[in-house]
Amino acid sequence: MKHHKHRPPREVLIDGFDARGGGQGLDANGTRWSIRGAPAGALILAVGRNYDGTRLALVKPSEDAVPPPCGVFGVCGGCQWQEMPAQRQRDEKGRMLARLLGELGGEDHGVVSAGEPYGYRNKIELTFGTARYLLAHELNTEIKRVGRWLGFHAPGRFDRIVDTPDCALASPAINAVYARVRADVYASDLEFWDCNEHTGFLRNLILREGLDHDVLVALYTAPGTEEQAAWLREHAPGWGATCVGWFENQTSGDAATGDLREVLVESGRGLSIAASLGGIRFQLSPTAFFQVNVAGAELLVDVVRRYLGVGGSVLWDLYCGAGLLGLANADRFERVIGIESVEPAVVDARANAEFNGIVNATFVAGPVEKLVGTLVTPDAVIVDPPRGGLHPDALKVIAGLAASAGTPGQPDARVLVYVACKPTSLLRDGKLLRAAGWVCTDRLAVDLFPQTAHIEVVTRWVAQRAGHLSPGQGGAPPLDAGSPG
């Protein structure tokens, strides 16, 4: 808990959200606050600086408040909005995006979602530790901080574990396997990792679900003894997982990384499980990039396809990850070129193309900003950059495509689909695209992460030349904002 001397707590009535997902509202003095984890319509007791306030207590819930189903809500850092109904969450995200992105132009199609608001995550990553983050009601009790704990990190604390028996966002299949793993390791004598002393054995745990509720388990440890190996070989088959891999991490860092020592449970496909999304089948390794909300990601893929339109000769898929968006549109382009800086993701993308018999997709490993200027001119572009948005050098190349649209030897129509995981980055890049001659025609948000402040925004842009929109501006309308969820 932050300490703020000489700053008495203030009651703040939350009336909306800022671009970071923090609750915004006014105190009795008319000062506007931004408070993480503050639900819309609630009266919050807050302390600290008004632009980065800390929630102390819920004074009065909103009229439509719902009880959070998670016992560690507000502590583990994963969820911020469990106190609001799912529809209210979408409404508030839509209002925030309309205020933030309105100046980019285009038709705002609202926020869509699919699937259930809980139990949608097909992957979780947990950490073993020796220091527990105590909840408010556990302070000044006999509950000990030092021990053996398994769960998520508390926000801002690499050294404190929020002990987590299950996760409300994780799928039922993942929670079932996790319960067995958790019971076994707690009943064992295996040492949990001490991140300060760099001692112990058990370090990280990844669980991910694929088709038919298959679950992959990746266990990360310090280098193990034969006795520890024997324990893992004995207990791993009882966890109910399709495959289990044991990785050894010899570094002192906290990331789940390491070399494969042994496959403890074999799936028949090595250490991987099958998944399907956007009509494409995938083989997922423990660390392969894949959308964690498949139902929501199906909407995302469909929107991108609609925004791209009829297809053409060349499609660029920039920041392509494991190739999902490019591969899902390979049937409408003669050639797909994907670029991704993370080399293991490119390896996965190539394998996914081969697995699906797609021969017109090429994936290249390297920085987008260094490679994009070497590519053949596209008819359409997909960009799905990290939270920081487009690299300035990549943006220059993409922006320049608008100026050459329709010139001799160049495509007459050019479409850009920008998928953004951080709306403020989209706003910054979008202003520069507009200045270069791109016109935003449509905008739609996909709520891939209910209960959190995160949102994916898909925008469609067309090239403008000599004051006229190039062909292809009008496209099929996207999904209705009233999609179930």
Q: Which residue segments constitute the domains of the chain, with CATH numbers given?
A: 1-65 (2.40.50.140), 100-116+293-469 (3.40.50.150), 123-275 (2.40.50.1070)
What is the chain's mean pLDDT, rounded? 91
Cα first-last separation, the chain: 35
Of 145-154, 155-164, 193-202, where does mean pLDDT reach its minimum? 155-164
The CA angle 254-132-137, to the nearest 5 degrees, is: 145
Split at pLDDT 50, 70, 90, the class of 321 is very high
What confidence score (pLDDT) does residue 482 get? 45
Q: Does residue 476 have a pLDDT over 90?
A: no
Digit-coded pLDDT (tens) for 62-72: 999 999 999 89
Cα 115 to Cα 451: distance, rounded to the nearest angstrom: 13
What confidence score (pLDDT) does residue 466 get? 35
Split at pLDDT 50, 70, 90, the class of 312 is very high
Of 250-259, 423-432, 475-484, where does mean pLDDT reach its minimum? 475-484
What confidence score (pLDDT) does residue 479 get? 55
Q: Does residue 397 have a pLDDT over 60?
A: yes
Digit-coded pLDDT (tens) for 39-50: 999 999 999 999
* 190: CB partners within 8 A, 6+ apart: 201, 202, 228, 231
Split at pLDDT 50, 70, 90, the class of 20 is confident
What confidence score (pLDDT) does residue 168 get? 97
Who has greater pLDDT, 485 or 156?
156
**Side chain identity at 258, as an amino acid letter?**
G
Digit-coded pLDDT (tens) for 441-457: 999 999 999 999 999 99
Nearest alpha carbon to residue 93 among 14, 22, 13, 169: 22
Split at pLDDT 50, 70, 90, the class of 467 is very low
Cα 441 to Cα 462: distance, rounded to the nearest angstrom: 7
Split at pLDDT 50, 70, 90, the class of 145 is confident
Cα 380 to Cα 408: distance, rounded to the nearest angstrom: 17
**φ and ψ at residue 271, rounded to 5 degrees:** -90, 70
Cα 81 to Cα 315: distance, rounded to the nearest angstrom: 38
Who has greater pLDDT, 108 or 468?
108
Of 141-155, 159-173, 195-209, 293-307, where does mean pLDDT reach its minimum? 141-155
Average pLDDT for 336-353:
94
Who has greater pLDDT, 334 or 155?
334
The CA angle 119-207-155, to the nearest 5 degrees, is: 75
Q: Does residue 315 have a pLDDT over 60?
A: yes
Of 53-57, 168-172, 218-222, 266-270, where does mean pLDDT reach its minimum? 266-270
Split at pLDDT 50, 70, 90, the class of 465 is low
What confidence score (pLDDT) does residue 38 get? 94
> What's this model's pTM, rounded to 2 decimal places?
0.91
Secondary structure of residue 372 in the 3-state scheme: helix
Split at pLDDT 50, 70, 90, the class of 406 is low
Q: Does residue 60 have a pLDDT over 50?
A: yes
Placement of tokens 């319960």 in the chain? 179
Digit-coded pLDDT (tens) for 190-236: 999 999 999 999 999 999 999 999 999 999 999 999 999 999 999 99
Nearest alpha carbon to residue 454 among 254, 225, 252, 291: 291
What confidence score (pLDDT) does residue 143 get? 75
Average pLDDT for 91-97:
96
Q: Does residue 252 have a pLDDT over 80?
A: yes
What confidence score (pLDDT) does residue 415 get? 95
Placement of tokens 């502590």 in the chain? 75
Average pLDDT for 327-341:
97
Q: Does residue 422 have a pLDDT over 50?
A: yes
Q: At what angle do helices 423-436 and 392-404 cross, to 10 degrees?
A: 40
* 113: CB partners within 8 A, 6+ apart: 86, 90, 296, 299, 446, 447, 450, 483, 484, 485
Q: Convert 153-213 into a string of H (helix), E (strand) and C (coil).
A: ECCCCCCCEEECCCCCCECHHHHHHHHHHHHHHHHCCCCECECCCCECCEEEEEEEECHHH
